[in-house]
């Protein structure tokens, strides 16, 4: 076990349960935005595109064409009690069509405010919902109620 892993284990074991849960939530948030994940997704997409490149010159009948991307937000209700990370995951699934990279700075700031205890969880989740909705409306010129 590395020094870093040992130190994280010591910190986790010494924290009260609520703070340990917050630390775990924050670690999961960091994992979600990890550059390695984005790199793997980009490489997978590029590999898929390269393998299809030879087929791109062939005409595709309309019945076999890819369906249009769904830009409607998913209807995922907000649970009565929800963690910040749970909210980010729910909103990412709700607004599946958005590039999370563009919202990363704003969402990370809000998550940090909650994790540091400077703001109430419910208020931060309300703000996260507004951020996702605003980016959706900006990108598609729509409201999620239309």
The ranges assigned to domains in the chain are: 80-146
Residues 32/88, Cβ–Cβ less than 8 Å? yes
Task: Output the pLDDT for position 27.
Answer: 75
Residues 45-82: tens digit of each pLDDT: 555 554 444 444 444 444 444 456 778 899 999 999 99
**Tens-binned pLDDT, residue by residue, of the chain (146 aa):** 888 888 888 888 888 888 887 777 777 766 666 654 554 455 455 555 544 444 444 444 444 444 567 788 999 999 999 988 889 889 989 998 888 777 888 888 888 888 888 889 999 999 999 999 999 999 888 655 54
Task: Output the pLDDT for position 53.
Answer: 46
HSE value, Cβ hemisphere, 13 Å, CA-based, for 91: 25
Residues 38/101, Cβ–Cβ less than 8 Å? yes
Q: Where are the alpha helices (DSSP H) in the chain?
A: 3-14, 17-32, 35-53, 84-94, 100-115, 121-140
Task: Output the pLDDT for position 25.
Answer: 74
Predicted TM-score of the model (pTM): 0.56
CA distance 59 to 61: 7
CA distance 22 to 116: 9
Task: Output the pLDDT for position 145.
Answer: 54
CA distances from 89 to 15, 48, 62, 99, 129 (A): 25, 26, 35, 13, 11
Task: Output the pLDDT for position 50.
Answer: 46
């Amino acid at each position: 076990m590395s020094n870093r892993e040992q130190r994280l284990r010591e910190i986790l074991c010494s924290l009260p349960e609520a703070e340990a849960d917050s630390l775990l939530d924050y670690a999961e948030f960091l994992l979600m935005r990890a550059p390695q994940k984005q790199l793997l997704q980009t490489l997978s997409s590029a590999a898929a595109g390269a393998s299809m490149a030879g087929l791109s010159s062939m005409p595709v009948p309309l019945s076999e064409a890819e369906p249009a991307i769904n830009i409607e937000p998913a209807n995922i209700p907000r649970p009565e009690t929800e963690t910040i990370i749970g909210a980010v995951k729910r909103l990412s699934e709700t607004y599946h069509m958005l590039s999370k990279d563009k919202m990363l700075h704003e969402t990370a700031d809000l998550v940090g405010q909650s994790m540091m205890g400077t703001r109430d969880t419910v208020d931060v989740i309300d703000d996260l919902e507004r951020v996702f909705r605003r980016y959706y409306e900006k990108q598609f010129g729509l409201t999620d109620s239309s």
